[in-house]
Amino acid sequence: MKKTLTTMAASLAIFTFLANASFAQSIAKIEPLMVHTNDVIIADHNISAPGNATMAAKFAAMFPTAQNPVWSTESKGYWVSFISEGRTTSACFNTKGQLNYSIISCTNTQLSKAFQNFISKSYPGYQFFSAVQINAYGEETQQAILQNTTGFVTLQSTKDGIEEIKKVYKSIETGR
């Protein structure tokens, strides 16, 4: 179970990292988007979640400060992206309205104190790049990406501890 959760969390974090890297300029202010698909899109919190009053009530209870939610549905569930307390959040619900996961963007000061202390002690030459908090199946994971002149490192903090899960080196231009 731990290995599966770790793999799932790492996959979600990589996906989120790529999404955040692409949309880094617009994270501070997200406007509702209209997407052209066969899915139902709802871009107003005052409108019920995709034709489901129970879903709307659960969403409002779980995320009472959500602003500008953008909903998407398909036969497997419901997806919503929104801003809550200044943080970009994405969540997935199953067809019964139960939360499968949420992914919340974080600043370095929004990480747990233990994680912040580990980063400052173990990676003193690195700068904060991005971070997310993943809540999935009753477990919480925080992941942070740091960078220095040679590359990036991804760290993960769970109830089991803190570990380095990936290191990527920047390529050096050789002029060839």
pTM comes to 0.69
Exposed, middle or buried, 161 (CB in 10 Å: 0-12/13-18/19+)? exposed
Residue 121: predicted pLDDT: 97
In angstroms, rounded to a whole number, what is the distance separating the alpha carbons of residues 45 and 66?
8
Residue 33 has pLDDT above 50, yes or no: no
pLDDT greater at residue 75 or residue 70 = 70
The reply to whether 152 falls in a domain is no
Band (pLDDT 50/70/90 cuts) for residue 17 is very low
The reply to whether 112 falls in a domain is no
- Across 46-60, 62-76, 122-136, 154-168, least confident range: 46-60
Q: What is the pLDDT of residues 109-123, one digit of tens each?
A: 999 999 999 999 999
Structural domains counted in the chain: 1
Residue 40: predicted pLDDT: 42
The reply to whether 134 falls in a domain is no
CATH of the domain at 99: 3.10.450.360
Residue 101 has pLDDT above 70, yes or no: yes
The reply to whether 137 falls in a domain is no
DSSP state of 45: T
Q: In what order do the strands lie in the sheet with 127-136?
A: 41-42, 66-74, 77-84, 87-93, 99-106, 127-136, 139-147, 151-158, 161-169
In angstroms, rounded to a whole number, what is the distance separating the alpha carbons of residues 127 and 105?
17
The upper half-sphere exposure of residue 32, i.e. CA atoms within 13 Å in the direction of its Cβ, equals 14
Our measurement of the distance from residue 151's CA atom to the centroid of its chain's CA atoms, rounded to an integer in Å, reads 22
The reply to whether 11 falls in a domain is no
Residue 73: predicted pLDDT: 84
Our measurement of the distance from residue 3's CA atom to the centroid of its chain's CA atoms, rounded to an integer in Å, reads 20
The reply to whether 36 falls in a domain is yes
Q: Which domain holds residue 73?
A: 31-105
Residue 152 has pLDDT above 70, yes or no: yes
Over residues 159-166, mean pLDDT: 96
Over residues 146-150, mean pLDDT: 95
Residue 26 has pLDDT above 90, yes or no: no
